[in-house]
Amino acid sequence: MEKGVHTEVITLKCMYIHSSSLDQQALYQFLNFFDIDSHIMKIRQVYQQRMRLMIELLQEQNRVGLHWNEPKGGMFLWIDFPEGLDAEVLLNRSLQEGVAFVPGREFFVEAPRLNTIRMNFTHTS
């Protein structure tokens, strides 16, 4: 192994063993002086509102072959489009309108379904 690569591997191993003392102290201060439970309750409500809005907008489309899950937790909607639609092509077009998503093919080990996407409803808009 080259010396530079070896040094990088050692550095990465040290980083993954534990977080730095500064990071630990910052987290300690944060948890002691910030009402995390209240914050979680607040963002859960905001995320639920965003999820509901996204689902309502999908329902308004009333498109044949358009299906999605209604999450019981998490941050994403999984959306299936009609067969034959390529999410990569849709992504390129939607980015021009300021809309981003992750094509579903990235989440399949075998036989990716090209007509699927994952949309995040927790990201800032």
Digitized pLDDT (tens) for each residue of the chain, 125 residues in all? 455 556 777 676 666 677 788 989 999 999 999 999 999 999 999 999 999 999 999 999 989 999 999 999 899 999 999 999 999 999 999 999 988 999 999 899 999 999 999 999 998 76
Q: Are residues 40 and 26 in the same domain?
A: no
Is the domain of 110 the same as that of 76?
yes
Same structural domain for residues 20 and 55? no
d(CA 118, CA 116): 7
Same domain assignment for residues 48 and 1: no
Both 63 and 119 in one domain: the answer is yes
40 and 25 in a common domain: no
Q: Are residues 89 and 115 in the same domain?
A: yes
Instruction: Indicate if 46 and 77 belong to the same structural domain.
Output: yes
Domain interval for residue 17: 1-34
pLDDT score recorded for residue 96 = 92
DSSP at 107: G
Number of domains in the chain: 2
Residues 29 and 81 in one domain: no
The pLDDT of residue 55 = 95
| One domain for residues 55 and 105 | yes
Alpha-carbon distances, residue 60 vs 45, 52, 55, 57, 67 (angstroms): 23, 12, 9, 5, 12
User: What pTM, to 2 d.p., does this model score?
Assistant: 0.71
Residues with Cβ within 8 Å of residue 121, at least 6 apart in sequence: 47, 50, 51, 53, 54, 75, 76, 77
Residues 67 and 90 in one domain: yes
Please report, for the domain that includes residue 95, its CATH number. Answer: 3.90.1150.10
| Sign of the CA dihedral running 34, 38, 40, 45 | negative
Q: Are 64 and 76 within one domain?
A: yes
Q: Residue 56 has what pLDDT?
A: 96
